[in-house]
Amino acid sequence: MKLGISSCLLGAMCRYNGGHSKDDFIINELSNYFEFVAYCPEKMVFSTPREAIRLVRVDNEVRVKTTNSKEDVTDTLTNISKELTEEIHDDELCGFVFKSKSPTCGMERVKIYPNGEGQSENSGVGIFANLIKEKYPLLPTEEEGRLSDPWLRENFLMQIFAYKDIFDFLKNEPSFKKLVEFHTSYKYLVYAKSHVFYKKLGNIVANHDKNDLEKVLADYKQCFLELLAQKGTLANTYNVLLHIFGYLKNLISKDEKAEILETIEEFKQEIVPLITVIKILNLYVRRFDIEYLQTQKFLNPYPKELALRSTTKAYK
């Protein structure tokens, strides 16, 4: 799996001051699961160290200028960013982590300075990041700073693995039967993200209009990718846990039921993390060999070693 990364986050000495912004989570954790593809438009056109650049509002247009000499480098950076953006399709990325606050790579809240006197505003988007979002609006993207938030981190990694999954499915001779199997495996993960998209995807798979396979797959892919961009919620996840419990309640003792329900309630009250409930449910799923639940991506959406469900702050 290939993950696009702003070069400075990998330790490349490409920042304006000759330094880097190496990120420990990316280097120490994500490197175990992804092949990194580094990008830095700035180092493609500027030497290091160099004069810093920033976004500047000029006559209602946002430009990129050097901080001291005030040279306008907008066109230069835009052209190289467009070239890099075109390469991304060939690299078959499953996601991208950008450097926050960067005039080239910042996804949001990048400072825009006035051309003369006045206060800066935190409303800008980096040139390169903006071009990628325009060309690949459904590609999973995040900034390294936001990944320190357990909720955003869990949603982003879940999105990446599911994004790779749908493209792998579409590459391997998909059929109506295989689509039903794929959709079924994602039933509870989809439900945990959005009830609206759950219904939309279900209708596409049901294919009441008798569309051909190509159209159904195209519609499903679009809707599934839009769904992945939604953030899961504690309330939806709680409901999913109760649905899964429903498969067990006639197979276990009264005391076991009470223990599971108590743990699910403790998750809802943010006393225990989701992984605690998942481990209990997986234990019973294996014990009773419940094939339907064994295929559910919700229970095992990504490598457990990532420990994304190990904190109560991973759900809101």
pTM for the whole thing?
0.93
Residue among 263, 87, 298, 35 at smallest CA distance from 190: 298
Pair of tokens at residue 263: 């743990």
pLDDT computed for residue 141 by the predictor = 97
Domain-by-domain residue ranges, the chain?
2-148, 149-316
212 Cα distance to chain centroid = 31
Q: What's the pLDDT score for residue 91?
A: 77
pLDDT given at position 88: 86
Q: How many CB atoms lie within 10 A of CB 35?
A: 11
pLDDT attached to residue 185: 98
Residue of 257, 285, 183 whose CA lies nearest to 227: 183
pLDDT value for 287: 96
Per-residue pLDDT of the chain (316 residues; tens, 9 = 90+): 999 999 999 999 888 888 889 999 999 999 999 999 999 999 988 888 889 999 999 988 999 999 989 999 999 999 999 999 998 887 789 999 999 999 999 999 999 999 877 889 999 999 999 999 999 999 999 999 999 999 999 999 999 999 999 999 999 999 999 999 999 999 999 999 999 999 999 999 999 999 999 999 999 999 999 999 999 999 999 999 999 999 999 999 999 999 999 999 999 999 999 999 999 999 999 999 999 999 999 999 999 999 999 999 988 8
Residue 64 backbone zone (phi > 0: left; psi -120 to 50: alpha; other: beta): beta
